[in-house]
Amino acid sequence: MWKTILIMTLVPSIISGTTYVDNESKAKLEYECLTEAIYFEAGIEPLAGKLAVGHVIMNRVADKRYANNICDVVHQKNKKNQCQFSYYCDGKSDKPYKGNEYLETLDVATYILHHDPMDITEGALYYHAYFVNPSWNRAMTHVMDLGKHKFYRDSK
């Protein structure tokens, strides 16, 4: 019986080419993507560093040049087919260690998604580790240094 109900539920979306994902599942997936990205990009950073990385992701979601949801922003590649967030393509496991840094990251992701916090990055869309000097940053406005990252926004 349950198979019939499942088929009747999914067939219309399969025929129309859409996928069925309820809002609760979608919200959970977005939360997981944000948590994972913050953890792997800034897990050892202080709280402000985690917030800043989360803000960059949310700023990209809000910018029409990027995907319109968290998971797609995090997994998006540039024109050279390189990952925007390096952890996603580094070949290492994307399974977080569930220690204190992870617990703090869960709190940061929850805060960003549910409390509409002030953007401490002043609209930054980009960042890089302090020990690299990518060529793209020359065309950007430097916003701040925080922990081991430098943050930038588009030049006006």
Closest to 87 in 3D by CA, of 50, 40, 130: 40
Q: What is the pLDDT of residues 138-151, one digit of tens each?
A: 999 999 999 999 99
d(C-alpha 120, C-alpha 138), whole Å? 22
Retrieve residue 82's tokens.
Answer: 């390189």
CATH numbers and ranges of domains, the chain: 22-120 (1.10.10)
**Residue type, position 50, single letter:** K
Q: What is the rounded average pLDDT of the residues 87-111?
A: 82
Pairing label, strands 126-129, 149-154? antiparallel
Q: How many CB atoms lie within 10 A of CB 18?
A: 9
Q: How many CB atoms lie within 10 A of CB 146?
A: 22
What mean pLDDT value characterizes the chain?
82
Question: Which residues are CB-contacts of 142 (< 8 A; sequence separation ≥ 6)?
Answer: 150, 151, 152
Q: What is the pLDDT of residues 2-22, one digit of tens each?
A: 333 333 333 343 334 444 457
Identify the pLDDT of residue 81: 58
Bigger pLDDT: 26 or 87? Answer: 26
d(C-alpha 105, C-alpha 54), whole Å? 10
Identify the pLDDT of residue 117: 74
Global confidence as pTM: 0.80
d(C-alpha 113, C-alpha 58), whole Å? 9
Identify the pLDDT of residue 16: 40
Q: What is the rounded average pLDDT of the residues 107-133?
A: 92
d(C-alpha 156, C-alpha 149), whole Å? 22
Q: What is the pLDDT of residues 31-72, one digit of tens each?
A: 999 999 999 999 889 999 999 999 999 999 999 999 999 999
Bigger pLDDT: 145 or 115? Answer: 145
